[in-house]
Amino acid sequence: MAGSGSWDGSQSDNSSQFEPGIDNIYEAFICPLTKQVMHDPVTLENGQTFEREAIEIWFQECRDNGQPLSCPITSKELSVTDLSPSIALRNTIEEWRARNDALKLDIARQSLYLANAETNILLALKNVREICRNIRKIRHRVRNPQLVRLIADMLKSSSHEVRYNALQTLQVVVEGDDESKAIVAEGDTVRTIVKFLSQELSKGREAAVSVLFELSKSEALCEKIGSVRGAIILLVGLTSSKSEVVSTVEKADKTLTNLEISEENVRVMATNGRLQPLLAKLLEGPPETKISMASYLGDLALNNDVKVIVAQTVGSSLIDLMRTRNMRQREAALRALNNISPFEGSAKVLIDSGILPPLIKDLFYVGPNQLPIRLKEVSATILANIVNIGYDFDKVPVGPDHQTLVSEEIVENLLQLTSNTGPEIQGKLLAVLVGLTSCPNSVINVVSAIRNSAAIISLVQFVEIHENDDLRLASIKLLHNISPYMSEELAKALRGTVGQLGSLVAIILENTTTITEEQAAAAGLLAELPERDLILTMRLLRDGAFEKIISKISGIRQGEIRGIRFERIFLERLVSILARITFALTKETLAISFCRENNLTSVFLELLQSNSQDNIQMASAIALENLSLESKNLTKIPELPPPNYCVSIFSCLTKPPVVLGICKIHQGICSVRESFCLVEGQAVDKLVDLLDHENEKVVGAALAALSTLLEDGLEVERGVRLIDEADGITPILNVLLENQTENLRIRAVWMVERILRIEEIAREVGEEQNVTAALVDAFQNADFRTRQIAEKALRHIDKIPNFSGIFSNIS
């Protein structure tokens, strides 16, 4: 016998080691070269027996050293080097090994209980692994259910090392053995292994993944693994981990690949971000699988980047499913497309893939195999999603005669369908029209179709709907989009019945602490209506709308009403609506009374200082212009006392009576509230500040408001002096010099001519060549009236002779 001798524990076979209860080993079993029990014994011509691999290495070393082939034991040269298999010895060794391993397994089974010493448990687990690795013929003995369950019980140990070794042992036990896998899958062992994916140390996670990978090779266990809560999401997480070892990541990926055989697992993977298996089945699966995958895709929460990937991968296939006659396939495809279409990137991919023609056909087609209304609603939703990306739809054919989505025929069909369907699909169709009218290239086509089909009345009626918020919102947004092009028609339609205008105002003035998209859209619609429509304005006034708008503006400015997304634009539109009351001042005393009662001049003067809010400043300046134009009619001319007898006789020796509080400009008693006087409101400085604004529309409005102080019938010289005191002359001249727009030049030339009526200012300005050049340019190139005014201005600075004066001197 060889004794315990030279066996090296680092070698692959441990079976030569003496342990308690292990059958004795015989010397004939040991290879003289390796000192290990042989697996494939062979005999030389001299009767010496070696491990085949070991003697072959010996022979090769002899050749490499240029020595004759010899026996390692006797060192004698061999005449024949043939290796004869020792079959009898090999069988005897295998019987010994089987007997020996059976004893080891029995000892291991007795050692596998949680109360045992950790070293004993680890040794038992180690022996089981060695037996499974080295002696495949004995593996059926490992299938003993009790032993497998005992190994699984070790996963409950409090020792990391025991749990780790138990996982390693389970991996070896179940490798290639479906019966052992089935035993492991009993109870909650799989759940425990899954738990280790997140709770164990790195090597424990790797071992847990390895066990799951082996289990996943059994189709019967794939659903079992996938059904464990958190299994798939943890595996998916490992595949994208940057901190895990590569082998763990690779095995996690391979495990998920195996689990893909179950459709339910594929759905769970998709939910947790591993979408490719679902897309693959949608592309290549049988019809029922395609329906299942497309339906599930329709319910998934997808980020925008993923929507693009999905559209690129399966967009064309989903569109093909839309075209089939199978209603279940069409429904599944529509729901999936509905989910991936609300993003610009994915929508463009779908357009390029040809989604528009079948969508339009599904919406308009009536006949056999037509879509039910509930699916037409989905089609309309997809179309609404797509058109809201601002694509150039006049270049994409959608009909058999090369019609596009913005062709008048298609738009009229959409309008007709809107009138003949229920509220749900109506809202989606209106959303389509909202998208088309949001694009500058297509809004004109839609407006033309609405005019030709006389659809404005029916569209306005949706404003009164209270049962469907989405439908009402879509209608208001559509009306707002077309209002710059159809303001007169919209005003007429809204004037037609009290209900629609009242509903619109009620939406704007709804008593909420947050501003909604619907309120902002409704305010935008009302702000776009013709500002000089007196009937509309007076109806708003009599309904108390303007008073409530003032309150709303105040609430927003004081922070009582908020809305991060819509606050700014809503406030702008409210101010614009409020400003329309000032256009009625010349015709309605009620408007004057309202402005006085609510001190509207002060309101707009305060709004004028809304820095960085151009539209509010512009609307406020326009309103102040209108208010100021009325000041000359509203100022109170004081009644002078009749002269007494002495004064009437000696009038040349007496001074006229002095009346205190007279306005320098209007020559009467003025106030901000009663006569809307800009001078009394100290508005000149504020308006002059706006003349340096970057927005020429704000500059124009401020210039117009200031010009009301220089109107005929007023004290023009005093008006110029007031503007000069506010350092406003230079900014006005700069407006003329910059010549940004024709409207600004017209206004600036008018004001400069009046300013140059003051002799000392004319002398100073006359020396500035650039001002002279600007006036000459206006004299040569402006409209007729402005040329006349520019001529007067040039005379003031003696650049054009005053011929009338010369002729009078000659005569």
Sorted by sequence, the CB contacts under 8 Å of residue 98 that are 6+ apart come out as 135, 137, 138
Q: Is residue 159 within 8 Å of 125, Cβ to Cβ?
A: no
Sorted by sequence, the CB contacts under 8 Å of residue 649 that are 6+ apart come out as none
Domain ranges of the chain: 27-85, 90-273
pTM of the model: 0.75
First CA to last CA distance, the chain: 156
Give the Å distances, CA to CA, from 63 to 32, 56, 57.
20, 11, 10
Quote the pLDDT of residue 421. Answer: 87
**Residue type, position 617, single letter:** Q
Quote the pLDDT of residue 536. Answer: 93
Q: Is residue 672 within 8 Å of 680, Cβ to Cβ?
A: yes
Q: Is residue 648 within 8 Å of 631, Cβ to Cβ?
A: no
Per-residue HEC secondary structure of 443-489 comes to HHHHHHHHHHCCCHHHHHHHHHCCCCHHHHHHHHHHHHHHCCCCHHH
Has domain 90-273 been given CATH number 1.25.10.10?
Answer: yes
Token pair, residue 501, equals 């205008």
d(CA 675, CA 599): 10
Three-class secondary structure of residue 617 per DSSP: helix
Give the Å distances, CA to CA, from 232 to 186, 272, 275, 435, 453.
19, 8, 12, 40, 56
Sorted by sequence, the CB contacts under 8 Å of residue 369 that are 6+ apart come out as 325, 327
CATH H-level superfamily of 27-85: Zinc/RING finger domain, C3HC4 (zinc finger) (3.30.40.10)
Q: What CA dihedral angle connects 207, 209, 210 and 211, to 10 degrees?
A: 90
| Pairing state between β 84-85 and 41-43 | antiparallel
Element (H, E) at 696: helix 696-707
Quote the pLDDT of residue 6. Answer: 33
Query: How many Cβ atoms are within 10 Å of 121's Cβ, its own excluded?
Result: 25
Q: Is residue 684 within 8 Å of 690, Cβ to Cβ?
A: no
For 65-75, give one letter per residue: b (16+ CB within 10 A) or e. eeeebbbbeee
Three-class secondary structure of residue 66 per DSSP: coil
Q: Is residue 616 within 8 Å of 607, Cβ to Cβ?
A: yes
d(CA 661, CA 671): 10
Q: Is residue 216 within 8 Å of 232, Cβ to Cβ?
A: no
Radius of gyration of the chain (CA): 47
Q: Is residue 333 within 8 Å of 377, Cβ to Cβ?
A: no
Token look-up 């591993």 returns 274
Q: What CA dihedral angle connects 803, 809, 810 and 811, to 10 degrees?
A: 110
Q: Dihedrals φ, ψ of 295, to 5°?
A: -60, -45
Q: Dihedrals φ, ψ of 612, to 5°?
A: 65, 15
- 423-426 long-range CB contacts below 8 Å, 24 or more apart? 423/465, 423/467, 423/468, 423/471, 424/377, 424/468, 424/471, 425/373, 425/376, 425/377, 425/380, 426/462, 426/471
Q: Is residue 122 within 8 Å of 161, Cβ to Cβ?
A: yes
Quote the pLDDT of residue 513. Answer: 85
Q: Is residue 752 within 8 Å of 719, Cβ to Cβ?
A: no
666 burial type by CB count under 10 A (0-12 exposed, 13-18 middle, 19+ buried): buried
Mean pLDDT of successive 10-residue stretches along the chain, which has 811 residues: 34 42 79 92 94 94 92 90 92 85 80 89 89 61 75 92 93 88 90 89 91 94 93 93 89 96 95 95 94 95 95 96 92 96 95 94 86 92 90 83 88 90 90 91 91 91 89 94 94 80 92 91 95 93 94 91 88 96 94 96 95 94 96 84 57 55 87 94 95 94 96 93 94 91 94 94 90 93 94 91 51 39
Element (H, E) at 256: helix 246-259
